[in-house]
Structures are given as C-alpha cells and as structure tokens.
C-alpha cells in the first residue's frame, strides 16, 4: 500500500427538513467528491437512496487517498444549512440538517465476524432518477444481526464485488463502534476541552444568506460559501490541522 494511503467509508444521511435536507445531503456529497477529484483521490459511490428532486436520503461512498481519513475525520457530525430552498415560493429561509459519518476502513485489521450472524439479501441496482440499471440482482445488502447494522453496496458489476464492498463497510462500522467504546474516557476528556464530536451535535452551520460557514467546535468562520461547496475545503482542513497542532 502506498505510504499514507487511507481508505474512508463516507456515509451521508438527510436529517430534518424533508426534501431540502435531501438536497443538502446531495450538496455535501458533491462537495466531498469534488474535493477528492481536486487532490487526486478516488471517490466511489457504493450505495444511495435518491428522492424525486435529485437529493439523497442516504449515500455511502468509498474514498481512497493519501491522508484521506486524517483530513475527513472531523467531518463526522450533523451539518446544518440555512438558506432559501429551491422548493420555497415565499422566499423564506429554512433550516435543515444532514448527518455525516466518516469511518476508517483498515485492511490491516480484521474484525472477527461470524457468518452465521449475517443475513444477506440481493437486489437490483438502480441509477440516478430511480431507473434500474441491472436486470439481475447484483446489489448486496447485509444485516449484522447481533448489532442490527445494515450495510449495502450496488456499485460493483457482480454480486461478489458488491458483497466484498459491503463487508468492507460492515468491518469499518464494527471497528468504529469498538474504537468509540474503547476510547470512552478519552472522548469525555476531549468533550471538556473542545466540545463533543458526537454525531447528534450540530457541528457546522452553512448560512447562505450571510455567505458564512461556522464550525461550532473550533469557533472558526469562513466566507465564500459557494467556493467551499464547490470542493475548496483546504481552508477548513487547515484550520483543524492548526487546532490539533496547538
């Protein structure tokens, strides 16, 4: 493996706000995808659930790149947007949310998963707009019965490829849960210092009318919101690097 190369499982889910939340989730996915393209990382969509407006109720992607996890780890949490939705006719500003989870896929660490604990089903893959792109059931969905974790992949062209990707997501999810449990005392101390990174907390607000993005954990603000949403995330990542070094 290339030195510094890291694999990330990125999960984005629409929160409160209905269709606007799904559109915001799609905007976040696009922002991360464009950043990945900018720095030469691979970005592969593994699974998604799209609404009729082109927003994402849910999207799972895999990112491969040098220091990908180191840069993306602080994106985990609830992102809040304040703007006038495309669906709003009266010109009112709405507040919606989307949650982001960033999991490190560690090929060097294998989690012991009992095959008997897995419920595996297959489905037809779909493309943008909801159309079926496969006439055979190549999509794979796996339920880990002891934890209730559900993962899926429909990016590959075969059941075996999608099963491998889905198992990679499952490994990352279980590893992340184990790490969180093991680091409970450290997390409590970190909360006292810089605020919790718990995914239920609103970590960042994107205020379009005021052209401002605010990260509530480090108290940092950025303008030129459209540029950042186009994938120019370096100012954000640099601010967290500076905070960690301090």
Based on the domain organization, do 221 and 103 belong to the same domain? yes
List the structure tokens of 141.
């969905």
- Among the three residues 182, 206, 223, which one is the final residue of a domain in this structure? 182
pTM score: 0.80
**Residue 189: inside a domain:** no
pLDDT for position 199: 40
CATH code of residue 99: 3.30.70.1660
Same domain, 55 and 131: no
Residues 89 and 105 in one domain: yes
In this prediction, residue 155 carries a pLDDT of 80
Q: Kindly state whether residue 31 falls inside one of the protein's structural domains.
A: yes
Longest dimension (CA), the chain: 54
User: What CATH number should be reported for the domain holding residue 126?
Assistant: 3.30.160.20
Is residue 187 a part of any domain in this protein?
A: no
Report which of 169, 200, 44, 28 is spatially closest to residue 104, judged by C-alpha positions.
169
Q: Is residue 42 part of a domain?
A: yes
How would you classify the pairing of strands 212-215 and 202-207?
A: antiparallel
In this prediction, residues 9-30 reach a mean pLDDT of 94
Q: Each residue of 56-94: pLDDT tens digit? A: 999 999 999 999 999 999 999 999 999 998 877 888 999
Question: Is the domain of 65 the same as that of 93?
Answer: yes
Report how far residue 7's alpha carbon sits from residue 65's, in angstroms, rounded to the nearest whole number: 7
- Please check whether residues 20 and 80 belong to one and the same domain: yes
Give the residue numbers spanning the domain of 84.
5-109+194-245
Residue 19 in any domain: the answer is yes
> Do both 80 and 200 map to the same domain?
yes
The token pair at 241 is 């690097």
Q: Residue 131: what pLDDT?
A: 52
Same domain (yes/no): 227, 130: no
End-to-end CA distance of the chain, in Å?
30
Tell me the C-alpha distance between 57 and 45, whole Å: 14
Task: Say if CB 27 and CB 111 are below 8 A apart.
Answer: no
CA 207 – CA 215 distance, rounded (Å):
11
| Confidence at 107, pLDDT banded by 50, 70, 90 | confident
Do residues 126 and 16 both lie within one domain? no
Token pair belonging to 195: 């605020």
Whether residue 222 is found in the same domain as residue 102: yes
Domain count, the chain: 2
Percent of the chain with pLDDT over 70: 87
Instruction: Write down the pLDDT at residue 127.
Output: 63
The pLDDT of residue 221 is above 50: yes
CA atoms of 118 and 235, how far apart (whole Å):
42
Q: Are residues 178 and 210 in the same domain?
A: no
- 102-112 average pLDDT score: 83
Residue 188 lies in a domain: no
Say how far apart CA 1 and CA 207 lie, in whole Å.
Answer: 40
The answer for residues whose C-beta is within 8 angstroms of residue 163's C-beta and 6 or more apart is 120, 140, 142, 153
């Amino acid at each position: 493996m290339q030195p510094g190369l890291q694999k990330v499982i990125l999960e984005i889910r629409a929160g409160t706000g209905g269709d606007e939340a799904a559109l915001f989730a799609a905007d976040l996915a696009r922002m991360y995808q464009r950043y990945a393209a900018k720095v030469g990382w691979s970005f592969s969509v593994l699974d998604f659930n799209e609404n009729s407006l082109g927003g994402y109720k849910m999207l799972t992607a895999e990112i491969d790149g040098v220091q990908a996890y180191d840069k993306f780890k602080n994106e985990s949490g609830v992102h809040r947007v304040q703007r006038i939705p495309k669906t709003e006719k009266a010109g009112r500003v709405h507040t919606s949310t989307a949650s982001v989870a960033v999991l490190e896929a560690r090929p060097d660490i294998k989690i012991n998963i009992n095959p008997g604990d897995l419920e595996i089903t297959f489905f037809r893959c779909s493309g943008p707009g909801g159309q079926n792109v496969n006439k055979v059931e190549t999509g794979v969905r796996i339920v880990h019965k002891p934890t209730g974790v559900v993962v899926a992949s429909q990016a590959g062209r075969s059941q075996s490829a999608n099963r491998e990707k889905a198992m990679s997501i499952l490994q990352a999810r279980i590893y992340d849960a184990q790490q969180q449990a093991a680091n409970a005392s450290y997390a409590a101390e970190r909360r006292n210092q810089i605020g919790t990174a718990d995914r239920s907390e609103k970590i960042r607000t994107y205020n379009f009318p005021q052209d401002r993005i605010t990260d509530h954990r480090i108290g940092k603000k950025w303008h030129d919101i459209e540029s950042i949403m186009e994938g120019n995330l370096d100012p954000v990542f640099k601010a967290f690097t500076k905070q960690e070094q301090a």
